[in-house]
Structure 1
Amino acid sequence: MAEYQHVSTFPSLPKTNRGLPLVISSTPSGDKIVYCNGNSVYIVPSDNLTGTDIYTEHPVATTVAKYSPSGFYCASGDQNGNIRIWDTTQTTHILKATYPIFSGPVRDIAWNDDSKRLAVVGEGKERFGHVFLFDTGTSNGNLSGQSRAMSSVDFKPTRPYRIISGSEDNTVALFEGPPFKFKTTFHEHSRFVNVTRYNNDGSLFASAGADGKVVLFEGTEGTKVGELADDAAKGAAHGGSVFGLSWSPDGSKIATASGDKTVKIWNAADRSLLKTITFGTAIEDQQVSVQWSKQALVSVSLSGFVNFLNVELGTVETIRQGHNKPIVALALSQDKQHIFTSDFEGHTTRWELATGKSQRVKPTLHKSQIVGLAHASNGNLYSVGWDDTINVATIGADGVESAKVNPTKLPSQPLGLAAAKDGSVAVVACYQHIAVQSGGNISVTGIPYHGAAIALSPDNTIVAVGGQDSKVHIYKLSGSQLSAEIKTLNHSGAITALSFSPNGEYLAVTDSARKVVPYSVAKDYVSASDKEWTFHTAKVNCVSWSPNGKRLATGSLDTSIIVWNLEKSGEHPIIIKGAHAMSPVNGVVWINDTTIISAGQDANIKHWNVPL
């Protein structure tokens, strides 16, 4: 029997940049969408929330990925101008080839219809576009003729072959071949051209730009056929930049996504507007991409939210929320049905563990990074953030989008949080203080060291504070009153995380010197393990006890999760190497005695089964 098994992933959202078009794509069958964040490429099913596959071999941030029409390969590009072509039929994703194309970010990739040729455009120093043969990398022509970075490229899917590209010099270029050479440019746009796309039979192509215009051209010679115009947008297609354009699979309709916070669906034949789908009013509601596959019409908001749209009704069916920035805090709900995660920017999301459904907690709890989260059985969600407040959000039956927020100022910067299961008391480790919140009041104790982490015993009588002075300081708590320090435990590195076991018998401590130590509380805090637990190869970030109090899980900067068994403390632990590929593990929590949830710097949440 395997030591552990990766069960599922709640994936990160796509990475977005304000003012830049985002390219998302789909598999040939249309059952999955493909997008980038961090160093990874995500292949996410459109019908379920947990069956995500992630490709993580790029050494730098990825920018765009496209499946070949055959479905056997994927080509992905990155910030340094490299293209990696890899196998999609196996989960190991064997690398077929890697080609350095230019010395700047890749913006778009296109395959031709027989999966033999690739066109790549971007922001190179010596060139902005390149077309080459997939298996050998040999050049198949020259994509020059535009004077600034090229944002978009597409192959005509039928003979005679053509390539179209859009550029920041406000032009659309047409190339004929193979071998491909410059034919002509079109000056229909007055600002950057963000996207150029052919329809399914190559009879037409469309371009969309930052001027709000969408222009249709004949597919072979590029004669202008007309423009998409909406009277509400003063005769342009949209009232803001058009960042995304996608033809319906049968070529009869066009979807466009814009910075004016709408997605519009058009009839391609008579260029009439069929539906306008309006998103919210915030900047984050700008629509930066749209992809129409055989199974779904999907748009992406500037916030990274992935929106599944109903074409017939012109409505938003579901929104996948979550994070596209590093997850820095993780808490399990008391009923173990949900987890709460917070990211680097202070956004908090609630996830339904059984399905992966996600909802952003609104209003936003903190204006900056959250460093501690805890959920109590009375429905309160406690959080502390670098805006130097502790927030108690009441999450009632109405769900998380109408949370009642109640922030209280703290005396110095908070770095750790622990709360009683019933919500009767919460304790915060601050840079120069320990704060105890009970019944709406806060009592503050100054400390001569810098706090870093904190834990509260299950019976709410002991507070353990980890310091940046490499010591654990133990205090007694009665009500909201903290006693003088009763015990000090010395470590060789700054304390990073602390946790009492569910029955209160043990206190687990982790530090930046890679150590994990379980202390026996009743035996005056002697170590409860037979050997030193130093299997991590870098700073340990987080620790969690299994409900039966026999096993510990720790996550580390070394990208691994280690499961330690207190009953076999001298034996080799179970190591989940590279649990979050190339990314520190920032949070771990046990759902039951064999299931761990982990959250990483890569903005992914993973489920692991670790049998007894």
Structure 2
Amino acid sequence: MSEFSLNALFPSLPRTARGTAVVLGSTPTGDKIQFCNGTSVYTVPIDNLTNADIYTEHSHATTVAKTSPSGYYCASGDIHGNVRVWDTTQTTHILKITIPVFSGAVKDIAWDSESKRIAAVGEGKERFGHVFLFDTGTSNGNLTGQSRVMNSVDFKPSRPFRIISGSDDNTVAIFEGPPFKFKNAFHDHVKFVHSTRYNHDGSFFASTGGDGTLILYNGVDGTKVATFEDETLKGVAHSGSVFGLSWSPDGSKIATASADKTVKIWNASTQKVEKTIVIGTRIEDQQLGIIWTKKSLVSISANGFINFLNPELGTVDEVRYGHNKGITALTTSTDGKKLYSADAEGHISSWEIATGKSNRVFPDVHTTMITGISTTNKGDLFTVSWDDFLKIAPAGGSGVDSTKTVSNKLSSQPLGLAVSVDGEVAVAACYKHVAIYSQGKLTEVPINYNSSCVALSGDKQFVAVGGQDSKVHVYKLSGSSLSEVKTISHSAEITAVSFSKNNAFLVATDQSRKVIPYSVANNFEVASQNSWTFHTAKVASVSWSPDNVRLATGSLDNSIIVWNMNKASEHPIIIKGAHAMSSVNAVLWLDETTLVSAGQDSNIKFWNVPL
């Protein structure tokens, strides 16, 4: 029996930047979509919320990934112009080849229908595009002829082969080959060309751009066939930039995604709009990317949300929420059915643990990084953020009702939060204060050190404040006043503190990688004879198991360690690379054997750690 296993994964959302297209990939069967965030490539099933494959071998931020028509290989690009071709059939993803294509970001990648050639385009100094043989990396022609960044590329799926590309010089280019060479450029757009795509048999291709137009061309020679026009608009398809287009699998329709916050479904033969799907009215509802697979039509909103659309009805079937920035704090509902996660931009997501179904708490409670989050048995949600507020969102609807949030201004920056289960007492560790929220009133107690984290014992007797002065300050709490009863010295800044559920122990972790449990009844003397320093970098978070026997720690070293109080001298369980290339920012026990972790990589993972 293994020491641990990964039970479920709630994956990150795609990385987005306003006004920049998100290029999606998919598997040949159309049952998974591919996108990028951080240094990772995500291959996410359409019909499963708790499973995804993450490729983490890029050393720079990834930009685009496309799987070959054979399904055996994926080519992924990054911001430094590298294309990595790797095996998709094994979980180890053995690298086939790395090609430095140009100096800047790779914007788009296309495979030919034989899974032999790869075209990559983007931002370069000496060139903006390249076509090469995937197994050897040797050049298979020359994609020159456009004078600025190339944004989009596609292969004609049938012979005679062609490559098409769209550029910031407002042109669409066509290349003949192999070996490929420039044939012609078309000047039908008056702004940047964002997307160029062939239909399934290569008889036509289409292009879209910043001018809101959608144009249809002959697939072989690039003769312009038609311009699509929405009758409610003058001569254009959308009232904003069109960042992406995707043909339906049978080639009869085209879906377009636009900054005007809509996705439109077009009839390819009549060039008329059949459905307009309005995603929303806020700026975050701009549509930056789209892909129509054999299984689903998927678009990406400017905030990274993944929309599953129904092209027949013109409706949104499902939205996947989550995070695409580092997750900074986690908490669960007291019944253990819901998980709340908070991120570096102040967003809060709620998750059904059993199914992985997600929701975003709207309106946003905070505007910047959330440093503490906690739920009460009434279902209220307490949060502190770098906007210097302690806020309480009351229970309501299917989770919390953030329209009724109560705000308490703090006089210095909060770095940690501890809340009693009944919600009667909340303590925030602030830079120059300890803030106590009790019976609806906020009291601030000045301190003569800078705090970093805080814990409250379950019986509301003790408050432990970790300091940047390398000490744990233990206070007795009565009402809203604190009296210091013990100061525990460490060799480095304290990073996390936590009381066990039975109030018998207090654990403290620090910058010098130490994890030290103390006995509460024994005047906070060290409770373990063994030095627990297995992490190789700063420990970021700590959590007690419900049975008070085990401790989990997450660290900057990408790993999670599970320590056992009853077997203090034995080697702990180490989950190495729990969040690859990412610090583990939060750990939390759901029950005696289930541990949840969240990382800077925006992923939430569920681990089974048997006793």
Contact residue 395 and residue 404 of structure 1 kept, 8 A? no
Return the alpha-carbon distance in structure 2 between the equivalents of residues 530 and 398 of structure 1.
Answer: 46
Return the alpha-carbon distance in structure 2 between the equivalents of residues 363 and 261 of structure 1.
Answer: 19
Q: Which residue of 1 aligns with 2:514?
A: 515
Distance 1:134 1:240, change over 3 A: same
Letter in 2 for 1:361: V
Return the alpha-carbon distance in structure 1 between the equivalents of residues 403 and 318 of structure 2.
Answer: 21
Contact residue 275 and residue 314 of structure 2 kept, 8 A? yes
Letter in 2 for 1:365: V
Which structure 2 residues correspond to residues 332-411 of structure 1 after superposition, within 5 A? 332-400=332-400, 403-411=403-411
Contact residue 393 and residue 402 of structure 2 kept, 8 A? no
Kindly state the Cα deviation for residue 368 of structure 1 after the two structures are TM-superposed.
1.1
Q: Which residue of 2 aligns with 1:594?
A: 593
Return the alpha-carbon distance in structure 2 between the equivalents of residues 313 and 287 of structure 1.
Answer: 19
Kindly state the Cα deviation for residue 401 of structure 1 after the two structures are TM-superposed.
6.2
Once the two structures are aligned, what percentage of the paired residues are identical?
64
TM-score (structure 1 length as normaliser)? 0.99
Q: Which residue of 1 aligns with 2:88?
A: 88
Kindly state the Cα deviation for residue 311 of structure 1 after the two structures are TM-superposed.
1.3
- 3-state SS of paired residue (1:567): helix
Q: Which residue of 1 aligns with 2:138?
A: 138
Spell out, residue by residue over 1:187-242, the C-alpha distance to the aligned partner (whole angstroms, 9 max, x if none): 00000000000000000000000000000000001111101110223220000000
Q: Which residue of 2 aligns with 1:62?
A: 62
Query: What is the total number of aligned residue pairs between the two structures?
Result: 611
Q: Which residue of 1 aligns with 2:189?
A: 189
Contact residue 39 and residue 59 of structure 1 kept, 8 A? yes
Return the alpha-carbon distance in structure 1 between the equivalents of residues 396 and 438 of structure 2.
Answer: 20
Kindly state the Cα deviation for residue 17 of structure 1 after the two structures are TM-superposed.
1.3
Q: Which residue of 1 aligns with 2:569?
A: 570
- 3-state SS of paired residue (1:284): helix
- 3-state SS of paired residue (1:238): coil
Which runs of no fewer than 5 residues in structure 1 stay unpaired? none
Kindly state the Cα deviation for residue 530 of structure 1 after the two structures are TM-superposed.
2.2
Contact residue 246 and residue 255 of structure 2 kept, 8 A? yes
Which structure 2 residues correspond to residues 420-569 of structure 1 after superposition, within 5 A? 420-482=420-482, 484-569=483-568
Asked if residue 272 in structure 1 is aligned to residue 303 in structure 2, the reply is no
Asked if residue 230 in structure 1 is aligned to residue 230 in structure 2, the reply is yes
Contact residue 7 and residue 606 of structure 2 kept, 8 A? yes
Kindly state the Cα deviation for residue 397 of structure 1 after the two structures are TM-superposed.
3.0
Q: Which residue of 2 aligns with 1:251?
A: 251
- 3-state SS of paired residue (2:396): coil
Distance 1:89 1:401, change over 3 A: farther
Return the alpha-carbon distance in structure 2 between the equivalents of residues 417 and 78 of structure 1.
Answer: 38
- 3-state SS of paired residue (2:135): coil
Return the alpha-carbon distance in structure 2 between the equivalents of residues 192 and 400 of structure 1.
Answer: 43
Kindly state the Cα deviation for residue 379 of structure 1 after the two structures are TM-superposed.
1.2
Distance 1:538 1:48, change over 3 A: same
Letter in 2 for 1:44: V
Q: Which residue of 2 aligns with 1:171?
A: 171
Return the alpha-carbon distance in structure 2 between the equivalents of residues 95 and 593 of structure 1.
Answer: 38
Kindly state the Cα deviation for residue 527 of structure 1 after the two structures are TM-superposed.
1.2
Return the alpha-carbon distance in structure 1 between the equivalents of residues 536 and 561 of structure 2.
Answer: 11
Letter in 1 for 2:579: H
Kindly state the Cα deviation for residue 480 of structure 1 after the two structures are TM-superposed.
2.4
- 3-state SS of paired residue (1:232): coil
Kindly state the Cα deviation for residue 399 of structure 1 after the two structures are TM-superposed.
3.5
Contact residue 427 and residue 454 of structure 2 kept, 8 A? yes
- 3-state SS of paired residue (1:473): strand
Return the alpha-carbon distance in structure 1 between the equivalents of residues 332 and 403 of structure 2.
Answer: 17
Letter in 1 for 2:570: E
- 3-state SS of paired residue (2:290): strand
Contact residue 365 and residue 402 of structure 2 kept, 8 A? no
Distance 1:401 1:419, change over 3 A: closer
Return the alpha-carbon distance in structure 2 between the equivalents of residues 333 and 534 of structure 1.
Answer: 32
Return the alpha-carbon distance in structure 2 between the equivalents of residues 297 and 18 of structure 1.
Answer: 22
Return the alpha-carbon distance in structure 2 between the equivalents of residues 56 and 329 of structure 1.
Answer: 23
Contact residue 360 and residue 400 of structure 1 kept, 8 A? no
Letter in 2 for 1:579: A
Spell out, residue by residue over 1:491-517, the C-alpha distance to the aligned partner (whole angstroms, 9 max, x if none): 011111111000000001111110000
Letter in 1 for 2:505: Y
Distance 1:563 1:343, change over 3 A: same
Contact residue 381 and residue 400 of structure 2 kept, 8 A? no
- 3-state SS of paired residue (1:233): coil
Kindly state the Cα deviation for residue 400 of structure 1 after the two structures are TM-superposed.
4.0
Spell out, residue by residue over 1:141-160, the C-alpha distance to the aligned partner (whole angstroms, 9 max, x if none): 10000000000000000011
Letter in 1 for 2:170: N
Return the alpha-carbon distance in structure 1 between the equivalents of residues 312 and 87 of structure 2.
Answer: 36
Q: Which residue of 1 aligns with 2:52?
A: 52
Kindly state the Cα deviation for residue 7 of structure 1 after the two structures are TM-superposed.
1.4
Letter in 2 for 1:259: A
Distance 1:402 1:235, change over 3 A: farther
- 3-state SS of paired residue (2:200): coil
Q: Which residue of 2 aligns with 1:113?
A: 113
Spell out, residue by residue over 1:541-566, the C-alpha distance to the aligned partner (whole angstroms, 9 max, x if none): 00000000000000000110000000
Return the alpha-carbon distance in structure 1 between the equivalents of residues 52 and 592 of structure 2.
Answer: 25
Return the alpha-carbon distance in structure 1 between the equivalents of residues 320 and 457 of structure 2.
Answer: 36
TM-score (structure 2 length as normaliser)? 0.99
- 3-state SS of paired residue (2:145): coil
Letter in 1 for 2:8: S
Contact residue 42 and residue 54 of structure 2 kept, 8 A? yes
Q: Which residue of 1 aligns with 2:32?
A: 32
Asked if residue 102 in structure 1 is aligned to residue 139 in structure 2, the reply is no
Return the alpha-carbon distance in structure 2 between the equivalents of residues 299 and 471 of structure 1.
Answer: 50
Contact residue 394 and residue 403 of structure 1 kept, 8 A? no
Q: Which residue of 2 aligns with 1:301?
A: 301
Return the alpha-carbon distance in structure 2 between the equivalents of residues 31 and 190 of structure 1.
Answer: 36
Point out the more displaced range, 55-64 or 275-284.
Answer: 275-284
Return the alpha-carbon distance in structure 2 between the equivalents of residues 317 and 607 of structure 1.
Answer: 27
Spell out, residue by residue over 1:268-306, the C-alpha distance to the aligned partner (whole angstroms, 9 max, x if none): 111111100001111110000000000000000000000
Return the alpha-carbon distance in structure 2 between the equivalents of residues 352 and 302 of structure 1.
Answer: 24
Kindly state the Cα deviation for residue 572 of structure 1 after the two structures are TM-superposed.
0.6
Letter in 2 for 1:158: S
Return the alpha-carbon distance in structure 1 between the equivalents of residues 514 and 87 of structure 2.
Answer: 39
- 3-state SS of paired residue (2:131): strand
Spell out, residue by residue over 1:121-148, the C-alpha distance to the aligned partner (whole angstroms, 9 max, x if none): 0001100000111111111110000000
Kindly state the Cα deviation for residue 398 of structure 1 after the two structures are TM-superposed.
4.5
Return the alpha-carbon distance in structure 1 between the equivalents of residues 443 and 331 of structure 2.
Answer: 24
Return the alpha-carbon distance in structure 1 between the equivalents of residues 389 and 545 of structure 2.
Answer: 30
- 3-state SS of paired residue (1:178): coil
Kindly state the Cα deviation for residue 603 of structure 1 after the two structures are TM-superposed.
0.4
Spell out, residue by residue over 1:454-478, the C-alpha distance to the aligned partner (whole angstroms, 9 max, x if none): 0000101110110100000111112
Spell out, residue by residue over 1:331-385, the C-alpha distance to the aligned partner (whole angstroms, 9 max, x if none): 1111111111111110010111111111111111111111000110111100001
Which runs of no fewer than 5 residues in structure 2 stay unpaired? none
Q: Which residue of 1 aligns with 2:207?
A: 207
Kindly state the Cα deviation for residue 529 of structure 1 after the two structures are TM-superposed.
1.2
Return the alpha-carbon distance in structure 1 between the equivalents of residues 368 and 569 of structure 2.
Answer: 42
Kindly state the Cα deviation for residue 403 of structure 1 after the two structures are TM-superposed.
4.6
Contact residue 432 and residue 451 of structure 2 kept, 8 A? yes
Return the alpha-carbon distance in structure 2 between the equivalents of residues 273 and 426 of structure 1.
Answer: 55
Contact residue 362 and residue 400 of structure 1 kept, 8 A? no
